[in-house]
Structure 1
Amino acid sequence: MTPSDDKIKVAIVGTGMAGLATGYLLRQDELQRFSVTLFEKGDRISLDAASVTLVDERDGTCSRVDLPMRAFAGGFYRNLIVMYDHLGIRYHAKRFLFAFSDVTARLYGGRNDKEKSPSLSGADSPPHFIHSSNNHLIVPVRPPGAHAIGHLLEVVFVLACYVWYSLCCFLARPRAGESYGAYLRRMRVPQRFVRRYMAPLMSSVATCSHEELLAFPASDLTRYQREIFAADHFVVSHGVQDVAAVLSEGQDIRLASEVLLVEPCGSRVRLVWIQGPGEDVVEEFFGRIVLAIDPCAVAKVYAPLRSVMPRMPTRIVASAVLHGAGQSTTLRVAERSFKQNDTVGVDALVADTLLLRSDFKGSGCTEALHTVNCGAVVATSIAGGFGELNVLHRAAFWRVLRTPDSQEIVNSVLRNRDGTNGPRDYVGWHNGDDGVWLAGGWCWDGMVLLEGCIVSAVRVAQDFGVRIPWHSEAEH
C-alpha cells in the first residue's frame, strides 16, 4: 500500500474525547488518505478545558485536578483502557470510600452571613453508610456516631439487597423500552435500598437527578453493573491533560472557531464558522464532516437532525473546585498546567472518600464531594450553582441523558445499512448520510460516559476504512 496523493478533506467539530480520538485514528490511516482539521469554539481543547493545576503557595507543590473527576472501571471501559495502553497513558488503581449522607436542606443554601464556606466534611449530616470500592476493606467502616447493632443490621440489609440486585442484573434482562425505575420495581428491589443507595450512587456517575436516572433505559444500568462487577477503579496518573496532549499531537486544531452551519452540497459538505469574536464568517468545503458535539449543538448547525435532536434530553451540570474544610487560602490556580509529582505508588494504597449527599425531600438529587490530595474539594452540584462560596475554579458542561425514547432514536440514527441495529421501519437520517457522521459519548447504546466516545470514534474510523491500531493488540 502506498500513501494517496489526493487526500480527502475531513472536518471534525469538537475536541472532546470523541473528536480527538477520531482525529487520531484518521491520522493513523496506513494510506494517509485524509487531511483532518478539528474545530473548537473554545480557546482550549475541550477534553481538558475545565481541569486546573493548583499551586500551594506554602511550598510550591502542584496538583492537577480534573474537572469533572475522570475515574473509570475495568470491564465496562475496555475500549478506553485498550486505547490508553496503546497510547502509553499511565493510569493506576484508585480505592474509593463511598460515604452516603442525607441532607434535609440544600447544601449550598440557607447559610447566614457569618458562614463563609460550607462544611464539606459532612459533620453537619454524618454519613449513614460507608462503602469501600471492590470491598477492599473486609470489615465495613462504621460511620461516626452509628450504634454497633444498628450498623450491623444496616450492613446485612445493604449486602442482601446488593446481592439480589446484582443477581437480577446478571440473570433477568430488561424488557424492550423498560425504564430503570420500572425494572427495579419489577425485580422487587426494596425502595429503601434504591432511594438511599443505588439512586445516589448511580446519579453521581450519570450526573443527573434521581428522577432522571430512574427514567434511563434499564439496559444501560444493568449492563454497567454486570461489566464493572468486581472490577478495579482507575484514574489517569497525571490527569487527562496527558490524554489530550497525546491525541492532539500533530493535529490541525483551530481554536476559537465556532461552527455555525454544516450543509451538504452535492458530493461535498459546506462548513461555515466564525474565527474568534468579531471576526468575519468563513466557509470551506470538505469531503466529510464528523460532528463530535452534544445533540443541542448538532441541532443548531445541521438541519437534517434539527427535528430529532431536541428529543435527546440534556442538562447543564455545574462543577467546581472549592477550599476544603479548614483549608487555608494558600491554594491558587496556576496560569499553566504542570505535571504533579509521580505518586502512583502512594495513591494506589490510599483510599479517597467520595461523599454522596442526597436531598430526597427537595430536589431528589445527589451532590458528590471528592477531596483531592492537595486538600481542595471537587464538588459536582446537580441542583445548581455554588452561591458565594470561596471557589477556586468553576465550570459547567453539557450532560446528555438517556430515556427509552432517546435510546431508540440513537439506535435508529446509528443503524447499519443492513438494518441489523435499530428499528427496521426507521426512514430518517442515518450516520454517514450526505458525508456527515456523529460521534460522542451519547452515540452508542450505553451509558453516556467516555467509553461511548471511544466506541463511536472507532465506528467512524471503520466507516472510513481505517484499521484501528489497537485492535491488533487486544480484542475489541
Structure 2
Amino acid sequence: MDSGADSQGKPRLAVIGTGIAGLSAAYLLKDDHQVTVFESQARAGMGAHSVDYASKGITSRIDIPLRIFCHGYYDNLLALYDHIGVEILTSDHSGIFSDETGRVLLHYGNFRLGSVHLSHLKGNSWLNPAAWTIGLQSRRFFARAKRDVSRSGLAELSFGEYLQQSGAGREFVATVLLPMMSVTCTCSYQAVRDYPADLMLEYLTCGVHELGIMTAAKGVDDIVPRMLVDVELQTNSPIALVEPDGEQLRVVTKAGSTRHFDQVVIAAQAHQAAAMLAGFEERRVLLGRIPFERSSMSVHSDQEILPAPVKGLSPVNYHVPRDAERAEVSVDLTKAIARLSDQETVFQTWNPIRRIAPNRELARVEFTRPTVTRDSRKAVIALREQHCQPGNRLWLCGSYMTEKIPLLEAAVDSSVAVAGHLGAAIPWKTDTPSAV
C-alpha cells in the first residue's frame, strides 16, 4: 500500500470526473492536498465532446453541449471564472417557436437597454393575436412568480401542481415555458412538471430574462487548463471500484490499476457513482433515488429544420410538435456565439426529432443529466448528512447534490461545499470556511 501523504506531507486526494464539479473541486483542494484527477475519456470531461468546425478559412472549437449562464443565479460559477481569468461575453438566446407543420407560433427578439435586456415580438408575431396572447400570459406568469417565490410551502408542491394552482396560461405553458425549461433542464416536459416548485421559481425569477445570457468567450478549451494547474490528470481511466481499505480508500480502475487515497471526491453522475461504490451500501441506495434522463445533441449545418430562412430568425429555434414529450431545440451558433460569427451557419440541436441530413452533421453526442423530484431531494439531504459524519473520507460532488436545478452553478456549489468540509479556502469568499 502506498503512503497516505506526498513528500511535502500533503494528504492524497482523488477526484473522479472532470465536469465542472470535478474540475472546480480539484482547483479548490489542490493547495492543501496532492490531487489526482481521473477521467474515463481521452480528454477532460468539459471538453470531451468538443468538435472542430472549419468554414470560410476559419477553424473554431464548438462545445457540446453549450455552456450558458447568467447573473442572479450563477454566483459561484461567475466568481470562479472571474478568479481564474475566464473572459465572459453576453449572448443572444431569443427564440422562435413553431409547430409540427412549421407554423410560427411566437417569434421574439431581445434588445439591450443599459444593463437590462428587453424582449419584443418579431416578424408576423406583431400581427398574430395568438402570439400576443402568449406574451400577455407570460407577463402575468412572471409577475405572479415573483410574488410567489418566497411563499411558504412551495417545496411541497411540484412545478406542475403550481402551474395548475396559479392559473398559468395554457398557451404560454405549452408553447414556451415547458419547451424552454425542458432544454434548460435537459429533460422531458413531465420531468419539468415533477420538479419541486420552489426550485423552478427560484430560477425563473432570478433575472435570467431581464439580465440576459452569457458564455465563456473562448469556450471550455480555455477553462479546463486553468483548473488543472498543479494536479495530476489521468485520462482514459474509468473507475471500477472505490472501497474502504483501513484508514484509506482504495481506487481501482477498470484496467486493474490500484491506488490508495486519504480522501476521494466522486464528481460523476449519481448512477455512475453508485456503480463504483463498495462498502457504502446506504449511499448506494440513496444515489439510486436520483433520477436522470438521456438526451442527444447534434452539431450540423442543415437549414431544412428551420421554419423560415435563417437570416431574419432569432438564434434559438423551438420545434414544439403537439403531443411530443420534449421540444427539439436548435441554436444558431453563428448568432449566439461571438467567436463563430464570421463562419457559415452551424447549429446545435438538442433532442433531434426530425431527420438531419447525414452529410450536414458534424457530430452527435448522447449524454445523461439528473433531474429533481421531491423524493430525490430527500435522498440528497440524506447524502449531504453523510458528509458530516466524523471521519468521513468519501465525498459526493455534482449538480445533483445541491438545492438547485442541476446546472453549472449547482455543480460548483457542490464543490464549494466539499471544499468547505475539508477546510479549504474559497478564494472569492470573504470568510474562509472551517473544517466540519
TM-score tier by shorter-chain length is: 0.7 to 0.9
Match of 2:252 in 1: 272
Cα 1:134–1:259 shift into 2, 3 Å: farther
1:252 to 232, 251, 256: 232
| Structure 1 counterpart SS, 2:382 | helix
| Partner Cα distance (2:399, 2:262) in 1 | 24
Compute the TM-score of the two structures, normalised by the length of structure 2.
Answer: 0.85
Partner of 2:136: 157
- Which structure 2 residues correspond to residues 177-196 of structure 1 after superposition, within 5 A? 177-196=156-175
Give aligned pairs, total. Answer: 405
Paired residues of 1:100 and 1:356 also in contact (CA < 8 A): yes
RMSD of aligned C-alpha atoms? 2.8
Provide closer, same or farther for how the CA distance between residues 61 and 239 of structure 1 changes in structure 2, counting only shifts above 3 A. same
Match of 1:288 in 2: 263
Counterpart pick for 2:24 among 18, 21, 25: 21
Correspondences of 1:77-226 after superposition (within 5 Å): 77-103=74-100, 125-133=102-110, 140-144=120-124, 146=125, 148=127, 150=129, 153-154=132-133, 157-170=136-149, 172-226=151-205
Secondary structure of 2:27's partner?
helix
Instruction: Tell me: CA distance 1:399–1:139, structure 2 relative to 1, closer, same or farther (3 Å).
Output: closer
Name the aligned partner's letter for residue 71 of structure 1.
I
Task: Give the structure with the higher percent helix.
Answer: 2
- The answer on whether the counterparts of 1:169 and 1:226 sit within 8 Å (CA) in structure 2 is no
Q: Hey, what's the Cα distance between the residues in 2 that align with 1:413 and 1:132?
A: 43
2:368 corresponds, among 391, 398, 417, to 398
Q: Does the Cα contact within 8 Å between 2:98 and 2:105 map onto a contact in 1?
A: yes
Q: CA deviation at 1:191?
A: 2.5
Distance 1:152 1:386 in 2: 28
1:55 corresponding residue in structure 2: 54
Which one-letter code corresponds to 1:325 in the other structure? Q
Q: CA offsets per residue over residues 90-139 of structure 1, 9 Å max, x none?
A: 01111222212222xxxxxxxxxxxxxxxxxxxx5142112335776867
Distance 2:380 2:396 in 1: 10
> How many Å separate the matches in 2 of 1:388 and 1:268?
50
Deviation of the 1:62 alpha carbon: 2.0
Deviation at 1:370, TM superposition (A): 0.6
Partner of 1:340: none
Distance in 1 (CA, whole Å) between partners of 2:245 and 2:65 is 39
SS of match in other structure, 2:35: strand
Secondary structure of the residue that 2:400 maps to in structure 1? coil
Does the residue aligned with 1:263 lie in a helix, a strand or coil? strand
Q: For residues 378 and 169 of structure 1, do their structure 2 counterparts lie closer, same or farther at Cα, with a shift above 3 Å needed?
A: farther
Residue 425 of structure 2 is aligned to residue 455 of structure 1? no
- Do 2:298 and 2:352's aligned partners in 1 also have CA atoms closer than 8 Å? no
Counterpart among 411, 414, 431 of residue 384 in structure 2: 414
CA–CA separation in structure 2 for the residues paired with 1:138 and 1:89: 26
SS of the equivalent of 2:15 reads strand
The residue aligned with 2:63 is 66
Matched, 1:40 2:68: no
Q: CA deviation at 1:141?
A: 2.8
Contact 1:208 1:382 in 2 (8 A): no
Residue 40 of structure 1 deviates from its aligned partner by 0.7
Q: Distance in 2 between matches of 1:406 and 1:450?
A: 19
Stretches of structure 1 that go unaligned for 5 or more consecutive residues are 104-123, 276-280, 328-349, 416-428
Q: Deviations over 1:425-462 (max 9, x none)?
A: xxxx4466641001111110110000011111111111
How many Å separate the matches in 1 of 2:270 and 2:376?
11
Judge conservation of contact 1:316–1:398 (CA < 8 Å) in 2. Answer: yes
Could you tell me which runs of 5 or more consecutive residues in structure 2 were left unpaired when the two chains were aligned: 1-5, 306-311, 335-342
| TM, length-normalised to structure 1 | 0.78
Residue number in structure 2 paired with 1:233 = 213
SS in 1 for 2:154: coil
Deviation at 1:151? 5.6
Report the Cα distance in structure 2 between the residues aligned to 1:239 and 1:222, rounded to whole angstroms.
Answer: 29
